[in-house]
Structure 1
Amino acid sequence: MGDLLDDQARFIAVLQKGPSVFPEGLFADAPERALLGLKAHANTISHARLVALEETYPRTREHLGEAAFNALSRDFIERAEVRPRKLMQLGEGLADFLADRVHDVAAVDLARVEWAWLQSYHAAEAEPLQLADLAALDEDGLLDLGLALHPAARLIRTQTPLGPLMPELAECAAPHMRFLLITRPAYEVLLHPLDAISADLLRQTHFPAPMRNLLAQAIERAGEAEALPAIFALISAGALVRSQG
């Protein structure tokens, strides 16, 4: 087993770094013929990785344009920290890479949203807390109810307004809204524009936490009139679950 792992490592090294690390003794044919085969294999892998990146970031690609996105993608997948990644993790950090390479905050925002969408899609399943669950609790039971974030919940703060960034949200996103909550309470990933109050509750609450803590923070930030609507917005979106602790 050790020899097999060593051979695999040598094979991968030559695909990533080229002929300078050609694995002597690994192939039966002459090095020249082996390198031809490895080159074809490497091109196939490189193409597959570029396609995977395109499929991870379709809106970012559309926004930047095919040629620009392809050129940036080629530079990105050749970064030392990106080369060893499997396809599922390949696109991590593209938004930060774009922030350093392009003067286009909308492209950076779209990349952050699309990566968060993918992470939400692949997150663990959990039964989300529902507003109907609160109806069966008395006051003490409600205040003592333990809360945790749903594994699929992701909160993104964008630099650009959500309406122009994502046209399907234009009707429900006020012009100033720049917080996007991504959830997957069942089988579908959902997008929820959030106001600053609800977003702050998610960002600043140390979960797991009892409902009384969340309510106290909401009242402190928004007053009693706005506290419960802010919490209900999170519950309705499927962002919270009962904590097990």
Structure 2
Amino acid sequence: MSTLADLQARFINVLQQGPSAFPEGMFAGDRDRTLLGLKAHANTISHARLVALEQSFPRTLARLGGATFNRLSRDFIERPEVMSRSLRLLGECFADFLQAEPVDPASLDLARIEWAWLESYHAADLPALGLCDLAGLDEAGLLDLPVVLHPAVRMVRLTAPLAEQLPELPCDVQIVLISRPDALVLLHGMTSQRGEILAQIEKSAHMRNFIDSAIEIVGEAAALPHVLSLIEAGALASPHG
């Protein structure tokens, strides 16, 4: 006798592979009518997945156009490794998939930014370190403050001029920083130097180490504005919340 897991696996296989995978005796009743019902259900699922992809990448959709985006989306969701994903994770690696298609580099950057936005939105919650948290500290307390990269932070290095679908960012940015200091996910434009400074936070146990790294990268005079800007963007957090 088949186990529940076996039945579920066969049912999912039929939904994914279509009528050719339909096993004899799986359902009671007329085979043709059962297949008709399964086709309707599979079409509903396919439509829901296409809509989910559109909602995950609305700016990429606007840039590529509906017809092109729909064609690429249909090819993407038919990939075996994508079929088993939940709707929330459906768009993972969509930008990598687009890279193998005739898609311009700015569109690829845009897709990466939109997926990073979603990753940031779903990331673990942790209060971002703010300038107000530093105001009451003396020099020793500030330098000894433990710091980590905020779990919602993502960085996307651009490979092409910024897509016009991101009008809120200056056109000369080199890296897009995605942060979620409070409830809202925010986009920030950064230079490569600032991105290099932020990357050092994973090697820094305390604010002292982070500031020293910034000084090594851009010099003492320029380090403070970069550090303050990253704090204001919500890129840092205290490991203790």
TM bucket, shorter chain = over 0.9
* TM score, norm. by length of structure 1: 0.92
Partner deviation per Cα, 1:34-75 (whole Å, 9 max, x = no partner): 111111111111111001001111110110011000000000
| 2:174 partner letter | R
Please list, as runs of the form range in 1=range in 2, the aligned pairs for 1:1-245 lying within 5 A after superposition: 3-162=3-162, 164-169=164-169, 173=170, 175-207=171-203, 209-244=205-240
Amino acid at match of 1:128: A
**Contact persistence 1:106–1:165 (CA under 8 A):** no
Structure 2 CA distance for partners of 1:17 and 1:179, relative to 1, 3 Å: same
TM-score by length of 2: 0.93
What's the secondary structure of 2:88's corresponding residue?
helix
TM superposition outliers: structure 1 runs of 4+ over 4 Å: none
Relative to structure 1, is the Cα distance of residues 163 and 57 closer, same or farther in structure 2, using a 3 angstrom cutoff?
closer
2:85 maps to a residue whose letter is: R
After superposition, the Cα gap between the structure-2 partners of 1:93 and 1:31, relative to the gap in structure 1 and judged at 3 Å, is same
Structure 2 counterpart of 1:203, one-letter code = A
**C-alpha distance 220-146 of structure 1, shift in aligned 2 (>3 A):** same
Equivalent-residue separation in structure 1 for 2:235 and 2:35 (angstroms): 51
SS at match of 2:155: strand
1:208 Cα offset (Å): 5.6
Q: Which moved more, 1:82-91 or 1:175-184?
A: 175-184
Please say if residues 149 and 240 of structure 1, whose CA atoms lie closer than 8 Å, have aligned partners that are also in contact: yes
- Residues 181-226 of structure 1: CA distance to partner in whole angstroms, max 9, x if unpaired? 1111111111111122221122244256211111111101100011
C-alpha RMSD of the superposition: 1.8
User: Does the aligned pair in 1 maintain the 2:149–2:235 contact within 8 Å?
Assistant: yes
Q: Which runs of 5+ in 2 are unaligned?
A: none
Secondary structure, aligned partner of 2:159: coil
Identity %: 57
Query: Structure 1 pair 198/126, CA: closer, same or farther in 2 (3 Å)?
Result: same
Q: Write the distance in 1 (CA, Å) between the matches of 2:42 and 2:103.
A: 32
Ranges in structure 1 where 5+ consecutive residues have no aligned partner: none
